[in-house]
Structure 1
Amino acid sequence: MNAGLLMDLAVASAAAFALAWLSAVAGFGGGVLLLPVFTALFGLRTAVPVLTVTQLASNGSRAWLNRHHLHWPIIGRFALGAVPFALAGGLLLVTAPLAPLKGLLGAFLLAVVIWRRINPHPRKPTPRAFVGIGAASGLGSALVGSVGPLTAPFFLAYGLVRDAYIGTEATCALIMHLTKLAAYGGGGLLNPNVLWLGLALTPATLAGAWFGRHTMNRISERLFVLLVEAGLMAAGIMLIIAG
């Protein structure tokens, strides 16, 4: 293993720890902010599946830590929409041109911040609406890595709070990521290098989720939301310029 790869892995591990911690506290944001870091280090076509592998650990740990508070009716409806669209998006990523994808991701990140500011408290969705939310999440997540900041307001508007929100959202994301991995594997993106990188980053991700769980009730949620949005805007602008 050369020095350059070790340095990249060290940077990626530090980012994975910090943003898994942030996700555990604020409930969203880690995956979206990790993607620009991974893209700069590994390239977009590798970054998206590597991010998906690391998010298995992050979301799996959050789902397990909050397992007694999961809202299974919402999880089932979300999965009904997310699974087929995540498969379709994952297969599309295999052949999609990279430069437009970077620009799309940058525009998406900026749109997330604008949308959250315009509509911070959407109307309470019906349980059936989570089929459509899952479908949009599955497609978007497969193409740009993560859509947590866009879907988070719907889980909150439904009335899920703290442990119920974090655990239910994480379980929905876990189902979606497993589906994406199946699509990436079918398209040849899930190669040994991707699996190695994802597994190497898993300890940092698990540690960040554990520490975040223990600081969740001690830190202002509003502050973290503001930090996430600032990070989204910076990352979006950089990706648009790079694309």
Structure 2
Amino acid sequence: LLLVLPATVAFVVHGLLQLVSNGWRAYLQRQHLRWSIVGWYALGAAVAAVAVAAVSYVPSKPVTYLLLGLVPALVWLPKGLLRLDATRRSHALLAGLLTTAVNLVAGVAGPLLDVFFVRTQLGRHSVVATKAATQVLAHLAKVVVYGGPLLRAGESTIPYAVVLLAVPLSMLGTAVGGRLLDRLSDAGFRSATRWVVTAIGAVYLAQAARLAWGA
């Protein structure tokens, strides 16, 4: 999205698509949801959204790519270096605060959220369901914080037709992903998650370097 849209518009479009995708994922896996985590996360997310909105920060593309590329490194931190557990109230609150803030500034913060779940004793279905519910809140905040000013300014650069076309596709992909999740073990799920987000991060870092050096 950042390749074809201004950063602010890309954030809104990405937020809308992820809002639907994660909302559908949370609904499909609703029996595994850990609502206590979602509640404390929501409190931290609200604080972060208010703070970022007050600052009115609009990131440039190089900064955005750099942040997106660096965040995945967090999933490789040694166990003894960072003991975060989303099942603990204070950690769930911190997850909401940090993840939402990074999501609003960098556009995506999934790898950061993974750090709060990778050390828990939750099964893969509970991890996916609970993370999806928290990401509904994070992306809703992104849509409100960045979409509000666009609407007030009368901007019409949001490609609504593309969004409407992508929504059912994202829901279909989410449903298929749920079937694949059933086939994985908890250990396999965590290992696959680390490698996927790391690969994505490498792509973002390469793009950040290209923009910074004017290649």
Shorter-chain TM-score: what band? 0.7 to 0.9
Cross-structure match for 2:102: 140
Cross-structure match for 2:209: 240
Cross-structure match for 1:179: 141
Q: CA deviation at 1:80?
A: 0.3
Q: CA deviation at 1:213?
A: 0.8
Cross-structure match for 1:200: 165
Cross-structure match for 1:215: 180
- Structure 2 Cα separation of the partners of residues 161 and 43 of structure 1: 38
Percent same amino acid at aligned positions?
26
Task: State how 1:1-243 maps to structure 2 within 5 Å.
Answer: 38-90=1-53, 92=55, 96=58, 98=60, 102-119=61-78, 122-125=82-85, 126-188=88-150, 191-194=155-158, 196=160, 197-218=162-183, 220-221=188-189, 222-223=191-192, 225-243=194-212
Q: Kindly provide the CA deviation profile for residues 92-116 of structure 1, in whole angstroms up to 9, marking residues without a partner as x.
A: 45x5352xxx232233233223332
**Residues 90 and 199 of structure 1: CA distance in aligned 2, closer, same or farther (over 3 Å):** farther
Which piece of structure 1 moves more, 134-143 or 107-116? 107-116
Gaps of 5+ in 2: none
AA at the equivalent of 2:83:
R
AA at the equivalent of 1:215:
L
- Structure 1 Cα separation of the partners of residues 156 and 79 of structure 2: 41
Gaps of 5+ in 1: 1-37
- Structure 2 Cα separation of the partners of residues 206 and 213 of structure 1: 11
- Structure 2 Cα separation of the partners of residues 226 and 189 of structure 1: 38
**Residues 223 and 79 of structure 1: CA distance in aligned 2, closer, same or farther (over 3 Å):** closer
- Structure 2 Cα separation of the partners of residues 124 and 231 of structure 1: 23
- Structure 1 Cα separation of the partners of residues 156 and 177 of structure 2: 30
**Residues 51 and 179 of structure 1: CA distance in aligned 2, closer, same or farther (over 3 Å):** same
Is the CA contact (8 Å cut-off) linking 1:109 and 1:236 kept in structure 2? yes
AA at the equivalent of 1:65:
L
TM-score (norm 2): 0.82
Q: CA deviation at 1:87?
A: 3.7
**Residues 225 and 155 of structure 1: CA distance in aligned 2, closer, same or farther (over 3 Å):** closer
- Structure 1 Cα separation of the partners of residues 164 and 183 of structure 2: 30
- Structure 1 Cα separation of the partners of residues 182 and 13 of structure 2: 30
Is the CA contact (8 Å cut-off) linking 1:78 and 1:134 kept in structure 2? yes
- Structure 2 Cα separation of the partners of residues 131 and 151 of structure 1: 12
TM-score (norm 1): 0.73
Q: CA deviation at 1:70?
A: 0.9
- Structure 2 Cα separation of the partners of residues 207 and 201 of structure 1: 10
Which piece of structure 1 moves more, 163-172 or 147-156? 147-156
**Residues 194 and 159 of structure 1: CA distance in aligned 2, closer, same or farther (over 3 Å):** farther
The answer to which structure has the higher helix fraction is 1
